[in-house]
Each structure stands twice: as C-alpha cells, then as structure tokens.
Amino acid sequence: MDQPLFVPQRMEIVSVTDEVDSHDILTFELRPLDGEIAPYLPGQFAELSVFGVGEATFGYASSPHETETVRFSVKRMGALTQELHRLGVGATVGLRGPLGNPFDLARFEGRDLIVVGGGYAFTTLRSLIAYLLTDAQRPKVGHISLFYGVRSPGLFLYKEELARWEKAENFSLHLTVDAADENWKGPVMVVPALVEKVAPDTRNAVAVICGPPPMIKYTLPVLEKLDLKPEEVFISMEMKMKCGVGLCGRCNLGPKFVCKDGPIFTLKELRELTDVY
C-alpha cells in the first residue's frame, strides 16, 4: 500500500557517521520500521521529521541500488537538525518521500558528464555518482569529470569513497579548497575557477551542478564559455520548503514549484522562470 502523502513512514536510525572535521555533518542510515523503502532516484529528496520538533528537507545521499537502507547527510543548522544530531542509533524518525523530480538519466545516456558540486549539497551528487558507477548503469554514460570544492580539506564529505572514485576508470576527480592545510597538495581556488582551468571537453557532454547559489552563479558563465548549451546544464535548486508537494506555495519560482516541478531544472528552464541566471 502507498504511504499517504502527509503521513511519515517510521524509520529506525541504524548508523550515524560523523563526516567532517567540524563535526557538524552527520550521515544517518535509516531502515523502515514498517513496509519497504519507497523507490527513488538520484536527485530526489525527502522530508525527515523528528517527532515533536518538525520536518526539514534533505536530498537522498544513498543510491537506489542500496536497497536495505536509505542515507541522508545532515548539516546542523536550526531546530530540526540540532535535534536530529542529538538522536543516536535505535531512535525513530519520520520520512516523507521520495519527493521532487530525479535527474533525467535518459538524457545523460551516451554523454560525458561534467559534475560540479560544493558544500553539503554534494549529498545529492553522491547519490548520482554512486548510482552511475554501478555495473548496470556505468556503460550508459561516458567520461565522468567531478569537480568538488569545500572551504578546507577536512570538510570533504565521503572521503573514503572519493579515494575509490579517484581510481575508477573513465573518471576524473578534481578536488579544490578555499584554504589549504599543511597536507593539502591540490588546487586552492573556488570551484568555478577550477572548472575554467581544467576546461573539460564539452563536445559530447552535459553538466550537472549542485551547490550553494554563489557557486552555481559563477559556474554557469564558465560552462557557457566552454560551449555548453542551456538545455545541457542541469541544476539542482535549493529553496526553503514546507509541504514538499506543491500545495503550500513556499517554494515557488514564477508559476513553478521547486518541490514539485524541481528541484532539478535545466538552465534553459530556469531562464524562462527567473532572471537570476
């Protein structure tokens, strides 16, 4: 039976991973207490609830091929996330989802991928890349170039996985930081500058961007300079949300709702909705 729209599914926290040196991003692995995991695809999000506190929006960090549990990486911000961070293994939370549209993977088929991410929004990109690297999906896309930037080296999410991806075939990993420490040997610059410097081959490419609004804003002109067309650039938008299903009007972008029509839009679609980009 389908889960009713506004009734959270009860989930048990089965593991908690402290991801970064600042200890303010935890990855929660959740297993359903009733029923099954509702099928989802990379790019979609869910509303997680702590009973008696409220709900907030989080992109799936797990990949659909991980069938027993789902994972969300949560940065401590306000009321909900502070309370979530206090909960440990064995606690029960609520989940409404999946919500929103996934990446249109059919449009990535046969294409190289330029993936650009920053900050905690990288959670959604982790889901996408982990899924595309499965045996079933990998042959469908060409070369993957991943650009990922954070403020300092200790703030990279999923460090062990990044180390594995670095060795993957047909995959280039480009990490950058705003400020280096004594062990950092890589570039020290913002993500858009790194994309410009590396100048990936765009002849058969599509681009995916997920990150803080300034990163998106300054990456777009770089991609356009590299000759990517607005319909070939896919952007995951983040807006303050409430209902997550297009009913409350909290997340509108012109006539569209980011929660229901998005959060993934092409640059072409965004330009028809707003003059910000």
Ligand X SMILES: Cc1cc2nc3c(=O)[nH]c(=O)nc-3n(C[C@H](O)[C@H](O)[C@H](O)COP(=O)(O)OP(=O)(O)OC[C@H]3O[C@@H](n4cnc5c(N)ncnc54)[C@H](O)[C@@H]3O)c2cc1C
CB of 50 to ligand FES, least distance (A): 18
User: Which residue's structure tokens are 């440990």?
Assistant: 88
**253, 259, 263, 267: CA torsion to nearest 10:** -20
Give the Cα-Cα-Cα angle 100, 105, 111 (nearest 5 degrees).
145
170-199 residues near ligand X, rule: CB under 6 A = none
Identify which of 103, 92, 151 has the alpha carbon closest to the alpha carbon of residue 126.
103
Q: According to CB under 6 A, which one of 8, 117, 149, 244 is a site residue for ligand FES?
A: 244
Stretch that binds ligand FES, among 75-83, 115-123, 193-201, 243-251 (CB under 6 A): 243-251
* Residues in Cβ contact with 55 at an 8 Å cutoff, skipping those fewer than 6 apart: 8, 47, 48, 49, 80, 94, 96
Tokens standing for residue 156: 């990279």
Closest CA to 168 of 146, 148, 198: 146
Check binding of 250 to ligand FES (CB under 6 A).
Answer: yes
- Taking CB under 6 A as the criterion, the residue among 60, 72, 147, 257 binding ligand FES is 257
43 binds ligand X (CB under 6 A): no
Residue 244 interacts with which of ligand X, ligand FES, none, CB < 5 to 8 Å by class: ligand FES
> Which residue in 173, 177, 259, 267 binds ligand FES (CB under 6 A)?
259
Are the CB atoms for 215 and 119 separated by under 8 Å?
yes
Does residue 56 belong to the site contacting ligand FES (CB under 6 A)?
A: no
Using rule CB under 6 A, residue 230 touches ligand FES: no
Stretch that binds ligand X, among 32-40, 79-87, 145-153, 163-171 (CB under 6 A): 79-87
Cβ atoms 119, 212 nearer than 8 A: yes
What, of ligand FES, ligand X, none, does residue 73 touch, CB below 5 to 8 Å by kind? ligand X
Query: In the complex with ligand X, which residue's Cβ is closer, 153 or 211?
Result: 211
Among the listed residues 133, 109, 113, 275, the one whose alpha carbon sits nearest the alpha carbon of residue 210? 113
Task: Write out the residues near ligand FES by the rule CB under 6 A.
Answer: 241-244, 246-251, 257, 259
Per CB under 6 A, residues contacting ligand X are 45, 56-59, 72-75, 77-81, 120, 123, 238-241, 263
